[in-house]
């Protein structure tokens, strides 16, 4: 089955700096890659996603890049703010057409801390 690795496990940045979180996946048939943000005491919430036919997607200060050949994707947060402090999870979704099912496989999470 799919295996998703995520790095780093913790990341500390100064307010205003950029943060980058990287993930790799094993199943070349996976076709959807979301990023979830989990604030303390809450469930994960989708912040951005990218499909396999797109190389980059941006939404204000957040961007995601996908390299299908290398099977890795990254989350970029620019001009970080204290409210960006949270745990971030990457995930890969199986391809229904190739038997991957409606299943998300998550990375192990990155604790991002934005310091004043």
Q: Which residues bind another protein (CB under 8 A)?
A: 1, 6, 9, 31-32, 34, 36, 41-46, 49, 51, 89, 93, 95-97, 102-109
Q: Report the C-alpha gap between 1 and 84 in whole angstroms.
A: 32
Q: Give the nearest distance from C-beta 43 to another protein in angstroms.
A: 3
User: Which of 24/34 has CB closer to another protein?
Assistant: 34
User: Which of 32/71 has CB closer to another protein?
Assistant: 32
Q: Give the nearest distance from C-beta 49 to another protein in angstroms.
A: 5
Q: Give the nearest distance from C-beta 24 to another protein in angstroms.
A: 14
H or E, element range at 33: strand 32-38
Q: Is 21 left (phi over 0), alpha (psi -120 to 50) or beta?
A: beta
- Count Cα neighbours of 98 within 13 Å in the Cβ-side half-sphere: 10
Q: Report the C-alpha gap between 112 and 104 in whole angstroms.
A: 22
User: Which of 100/114 has CB closer to another protein?
Assistant: 100
Q: Give the nearest distance from C-beta 92 to another protein in angstroms.
A: 11
Q: Helix or strand or coil: residue 98? A: helix
Whole-angstrom distance between the N-terminal and C-terminal Cα of the chain?
Answer: 41
User: Which of 76/106 has CB closer to another protein?
Assistant: 106
């Amino acid at each position: 089955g799919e295996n998703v690795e995520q790095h780093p496990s913790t990341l500390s940045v100064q307010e205003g700096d950029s943060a980058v979180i990287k993930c790799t996946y094993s199943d070349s048939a996976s076709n959807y890659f979301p990023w979830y943000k989990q604030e303390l005491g809450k469930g994960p919430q989708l912040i951005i996603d990218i499909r396999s036919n797109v190389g980059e997607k941006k939404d204000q200060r957040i961007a995601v890049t996908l390299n299908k050949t290398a099977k890795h994707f990254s989350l970029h947060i620019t001009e970080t703010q204290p409210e960006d402090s949270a745990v971030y999870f990457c995930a890969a979704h199986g391809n229904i057409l190739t038997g991957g099912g409606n299943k998300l496989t998550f990375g192990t999470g990155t604790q991002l801390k934005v310091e004043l």
